[in-house]
Amino acid sequence: MKNKIKILLALSLAVSTVISGCSTKTKQAVAANNTVINSNTSQSSDNENTNSENNLPNPSGDNTDKNNPTENIPPPPEKSNTQSDPTPKPAAPVNVSNTASLDTKRIGWSWAYSPKSSASLLSKYHGYAFGDTSKKIIYLTFDEGYEYGYTPSILDTLKANNVHAAFFVTAPYIVGSFNGIKNSDLLKRMTNEGHVIGNHSVHHKSMPDFTDENTFNAELTGVEAAAAKVPGVKLSKNFRPPMGDFSELSLYYTQKLGYKTIFFSLAYKDYDVNNQPDPEKSKEFLLQSTKPGMICLLHAESKTNATILDSLLKEWKKQGYEFKSLDEL
């Protein structure tokens, strides 16, 4: 009997030792796995932070390599497992008694991301780079500085895919024409087909340069006056500052006129009609750079955009994205 008891005690001790060893290994494995997770998270954050403005194309079109159209397409930004909204919800309209207290320093926008350092400023003065980043939504916009014959095709494609977009126009665009087709007729069609028409200023200059309020206001009200002369065309209270340039003062002036300032979270060098980027590479870049809630800027004078738009819209829809109006921001 004593021998059986000794044997049972020995077996119990052996089992206890094995279990203890397994527990220790499990704890070690968990600790090692956490180290890997933390390391990957840190690397993802570092990759996101390296996406500086200096590595992206200049919205003004300077330093473009006109001998190589593919140089117009920047590398896709680093993917991140999380998508934070750099533009908090706007507060109530701000009233400033002394505008001398507002900063006039020009802040340049970038092409593929929204500078988080300006997030509070945008929120304060009703500026947007993103919409709802929690859902697969795209706010599609086109800038119309001048016509090159591609807007009718773009409108056909949008209609065929049941997608509504926003078109930002200058005053010269409103009164202009191309090959005998008046741009005002295109604007009427945009309105009739449910698109938003936004304000892109009269002279397409850097808005922070207009520190005098009356001169600044004339850049927006001049577009309003031109649009008012086109029967059936409604200009929205959405303003896109040329080149994406802004200052605290320019944001304040814009908001004071009742406008939202619409920036963009995705764009590329598509505007040079003599140096159009490769269609397939452009489409690949846009798809790889797509993020929930993004405001996408395309130029309507781009042959490349007119070429890829149908397949681009279909692929976005295939990926589960839907399109919303800027009026819903």
Strand ranges (E), the chain: 127-128, 137-144, 166-169, 177-178, 181-182, 196-199, 238-239, 260-262, 294-299, 322-323
The answer to whether residue 270 is domain-embedded is yes
Q: Is the domain of 264 the same as that of 179?
A: yes
The answer to whether residue 106 is domain-embedded is yes
The answer to whether residue 86 is domain-embedded is no
Q: Is the domain of 133 the same as that of 272?
A: yes
Q: Is pLDDT at 69 greater than 50 in this prediction? A: no
* Inter-residue contact 256 to 216 (CB < 8 Å): no
The answer to whether residue 60 is domain-embedded is no
Q: Is the domain of 155 the same as that of 243?
A: yes
Give residue 97's pLDDT: 81
| 84/3 Cα distance (integer angstroms) | 68
pLDDT band at 140 (very low <50, low <70, confident <90, very high): very high
Could you confirm whether 203 is annotated as catalytic?
Answer: no
Q: What is the number of alpha carbons within 13 Å of residue 217 lying toward its C-beta?
A: 8
Q: Is the domain of 264 the same as that of 122?
A: yes
Q: Is the domain of 31 the same as that of 123?
A: no
Q: Is the domain of 31 the same as that of 134?
A: no
Catalytic residue among 126, 164, 195, 299: 299
Q: Is the domain of 20 the same as that of 146?
A: no
Domain total for the chain? Answer: 2
Higher-confidence position of 61 and 219: 219
Q: Is the domain of 7 the same as that of 152?
A: no
The domain boundary residue, chosen from 27, 43, 59: 43
Q: Is the domain of 158 the same as that of 31?
A: no
What is the 8-class DSSP label of residue 107?
A: B
Q: Is the domain of 120 the same as that of 35?
A: no
Q: Is the domain of 151 the same as that of 260?
A: yes
The answer to whether residue 213 is domain-embedded is yes
User: Could you tell me the pTM of the whole model?
Assistant: 0.75
pLDDT band at 96 (very low <50, low <70, confident <90, very high): confident
Give residue 90's pLDDT: 54
* Range 173-177 average pLDDT: 97
Q: Is pLDDT at 34 greater than 60 in this prediction? A: no
Could you confirm whether 62 is annotated as catalytic?
Answer: no
Range of the domain at 31: 1-43
pLDDT band at 92 (very low <50, low <70, confident <90, very high): confident
CATH number at residue 109: 3.20.20.370
Give residue 30's pLDDT: 32
Catalytic residue among 143, 164, 200, 245: 143
Q: Is the domain of 1 the same as that of 109?
A: no
pLDDT band at 319 (very low <50, low <70, confident <90, very high): very high
Neighbouring residues of 3: CB distance < 8 A, sequence distance ≥ 6: none
Token pair for 200: 């892109």
The crossing angle, in degrees rounded to 10, of helices 279-288 and 303-318 is 40
* Range 263-282 average pLDDT: 96
The answer to whether residue 63 is domain-embedded is no
Token look-up 């930002």 returns 168
The answer to whether residue 287 is domain-embedded is yes
pLDDT band at 182 (very low <50, low <70, confident <90, very high): very high
* Range 263-274 average pLDDT: 95
- On average, the pLDDT of the chain sits at 80
* Range with lowest mean pLDDT among 14-23, 84-93, 309-318: 14-23
The answer to whether residue 85 is domain-embedded is no
